[in-house]
Amino acid sequence: MADHATNSVTDLTDLYREYGDERLPPGQRQTDRFPVLSKSGTPSIDPETYRFEVWGTVSEELSYSLEAFHDLPSATQRQDFHCVTGWSKFDCRFTGVTFEEIATRAGVDADAEHVLFHAADGYTTNLPLSECERDGVLFVYGYDGGELPPDHGGPIRVVTPHKYAYKGAKWVTGVEFLTERQLGYWERRGYSDTANPWNEERYG
């Protein structure tokens, strides 16, 4: 696999200024820990058979092995991470492939407006395409200079620093581009579809 240790780090920790003067969103507490939460535990994923797939309203469907995904152009970013359960972890250093890189390679159709992320444990979560095209939306396989641990979503997870973290699927296996909105796992169960931490959009 490619060596990404020499990547420069893009600092996105000032993203909060778009929403106000406080880096820590209301109702959140800062922690140095990185708690583990999931809907049903950490799934077992075989790195030899794992595939990252892209389909839907695109000109070219994509399918990558884990090794091939690691060989794509990468980025390293410093981001804050906000969990809907009330904790935030500052200065997380994530390495992976930008959403823009994947969307460009797939050739997203002009009528695509929404994205649905799929995960190995059956989890799904949705975002408007415009929210995915922002800086910071990253398919992550590296964390703080090492591999992303399985309990935090390895081999690949999504991070969405401008949203609560349930919008960033762990153990992501696919990205589906859609012309109409389709709610994900927690969104169907009453969580906010917009999930803006600075507006405390926790529940719908």
Check which CATH number belongs to the domain holding 170 and give it. Answer: 3.90.420.10
Instruction: Give the three-class secondary structure for 42.
Output: coil
Residue 39 domain-assigned?
Answer: no
> Which residue, chain included where needed, has tokens 């200079």?
145
* Structural domain count, the chain: 1
**69: domain range?**
9-34+46-199
Q: Is residue 57 part of a domain?
A: yes
Identify the band that residue 41 occupies on the pLDDT scale cut at 50, 70 and 90.
confident
pTM: 0.93
Token readout for 160 is 């969405």
Q: Is residue 113 part of a domain?
A: yes
Provide mean pLDDT across the span 120-145. Answer: 97
Nearest to 197 by CA among 171, 165, 154, 153: 165
In a domain, 3, yes or no: no
Are the CB atoms for 137 and 160 separated by under 8 Å?
Answer: yes
CA distance 133 to 199: 21
Instruction: Place 15 in a pLDDT band, splitting at 50, 70 and 90.
Output: very high
**Is residue 111 a part of any domain in this protein?**
yes
pLDDT at 204 over 90: no
Query: How many Å is the Cα radius of gyration of the chain?
Result: 16
> 170 pLDDT band (50/70/90 cuts)?
very high
For the chain, what percent of residues have pLDDT higher than 90? 91
For residue 181, is it within any domain?
A: yes
Is residue 204 included in any domain, yes or no? no
Confidence class of residue 6 from pLDDT cuts 50, 70 and 90?
Answer: very low
Rounded to whole angstroms, the Cα distance separating 110 from 91 reads: 35
Evaluate whether residue 16 is within a structural domain. Answer: yes
pLDDT, tens digit (0-9, with 9 covering 90-100), for 76-126: 999 999 999 999 999 999 999 999 999 999 999 999 999 999 999 999 999
Asked whether residue 2 carries a pLDDT value surpassing 70, the answer given is: no
Range with the poorest average pLDDT among 40-49, 118-127, 138-147, 153-162: 40-49
